[in-house]
Structure 1
Amino acid sequence: MRRRTLLQAFALAPLLAANAKLLAMPAQRVLRLGAPKATPQRVFAAGPPAAVLLAAVAPERLLGWPMKISPEALAQLPMAVRALPVVGRLAGRGSTVSLERLLAMQPDLVLDAGDFDANYRDSAERTWKQTSIPFELIAGRLPDHPAQLRHVGRLLGVAARGEALAQAAEAQLALVREVLAVRPAATRPSVYYGRGSDGLESGLSGSINTEVIEFCGGRNVAASVGAGGLARVSFEQLLAWDPDVILTQDAGFAASAAQDPRWRALRAVRERRLHCAPVLPFGWLDGPPGINRLPGLPWLLSRLHPGTTPVLAPAALRGRISALHQLLWGQPLPAALSRSLDANV
């Protein structure tokens, strides 16, 4: 895209300001900047949560991936997204696509989903003012997912699809409420979430990276450090916490920790409560913090509150997650992944 085109877009900014709307919806917040002329056909996902959302709701509308996707993950996704290029991301500090490149792709809409704080709202507004491309930022914490799915379904002209996914999301949230209703707060397990190859990075209180754990009734031991995002944790601190359960998404770390004498000093490791969450096609706990976490809700409940309800028994759990995986991605749950639902590490 020539520089003149970008400058022309900048010149339109004062005329566009009147088209910004902050929409309040049930359990949902949406920042709408501009409006597509028709139902969007070419949608640029500003970050990974938005890309995952589009891949589930309307995969044929996704212009490209903001991140690299492994061949193993692509094999579990709809055919429409398997050959898409990596086009970069706009969301957050790690933006990798220029505005000129964005304009050259000619999207009908830029969609972002996830955190709805001032930084993301300001970033969305800057992009819209500088390009005139309609931009929609949708809040995406776990309780937001049903409204989020309905909204995107209507926005992209696939309301029935959005509704089906929203109802599935509501069913998982309802299961969480059902389980926690019979687990008094004092009886819920303390949990450490180990990220990275050494397991010594974790999410603090309120971190979107540990949202699913706290939402499912796990008492995040790292919350005692303070509020915020991610932080490094010393092994000595972890020994002092000695959590009831350790969770990770790193299979290499989980396997090594299970055999490491140092890690076996922790009760959770010795007593086989070190659980490695699935990561295909995307992380079930985190990575990214989007609707890909929905299958992680029943899985995590079965690890934190085993035996609470027959719905969490192995056969019922497999059936529930298999149906949800099929609905989300249009592909059957792989046999190896299904078998792993019974395993700890």
Structure 2
Amino acid sequence: MDKNFIKGQGAQRNEHNRFDRFSWEPEDEEPESLKVTFTEVFPKTIVNAVNSPDMRMDYSLNPYQGCEHGCSYCFARPTHEFWGYSAGVDFERKIMVKKNAPELLEKFFRKKGYMPKTISLSGNTDCYQPAERKFEITRKLLQLCLDYRHPVSILTKNALVLRDLDILKSLAEQDLVSVSFSIPTINEEIRRKMEPRTSSVNNKLKAIETLSQNGIPVGVMVAPVIPGLTSDESLPIVKAVADAGAKSFSYVIVRLNDTVEPVFVNWINAHFPDRAQKVLNLIRSMHGGNLGEKRFHERYKGEGNIAKLIRNTFALAERKYFADREMPVLNAENFTGTRAQQLRLF
């Protein structure tokens, strides 16, 4: 590993913004001198309809823009460029906070004619990233879901989710919540390099166990699978999360779209110089010679022999460890919003 590499983050520099006529970068600051800053933003809406044919969600909600977790492969990095920032260091250190998210969510629940469907927290950036300790926006959103009896799903890399165990238990008693953990590796040394500010492997597995023991259904996303780096862990990961009590799992092949590519290439060369080119070539072999892939369905599963081998390994893991398990369907029948109340009158 490059001895000059800065610990505790993925990106080491601010990559060029594709929309640079709108961007601003301080000329007198080096990345290592920058601290995490929080900026309040004021969106007019907070719930996003998801229309992608290969994503299993109806709505997403993100209380934060940018993420301190520092995953070099994060697909959300390029979204920071629309705000005039870089997908590199800025994405990890310039966090935008949507304090009015609970107010906007309640307004959404009260829309005339709204019929409830599960809202997914963290469709873009992690709702339990370190900023949540300070702002507690996610907790307020979950309380609203409980108050309105609205189904909600959570995707996170952070055991901070256990802080809200009281609300989650109440939601689960009414079949209103599910939690998914993103676990790309159970090798703690690799985890510290891949996602430096996420929870440790042990804490993630303990969180799955604690949630499961409290009646909260938990799934796992093995994401991303990086050939030549984490792909040999497929079976051990699935066994570990099954032992911890997870009810389901899925996986996603790594893809390095747009500005994610230079961030990841810089990262892999610094941390794993002995295998960097092998890893990059294996990724290319799964995406038609490219590091990225944007075609629906193909972007998550990849193509070619390596992708097929990974797919077959996870199919074996499912038969071996998850044959008799499945996630429950969340309940939208008891929603207390305006439209649901009107329907119950007939």
**Superposition TM-score, scaled by structure 1 size:** 0.29
Of structures 1 and 2, the one scoring higher in RCO (CA 8 A, sep 6+) is 2
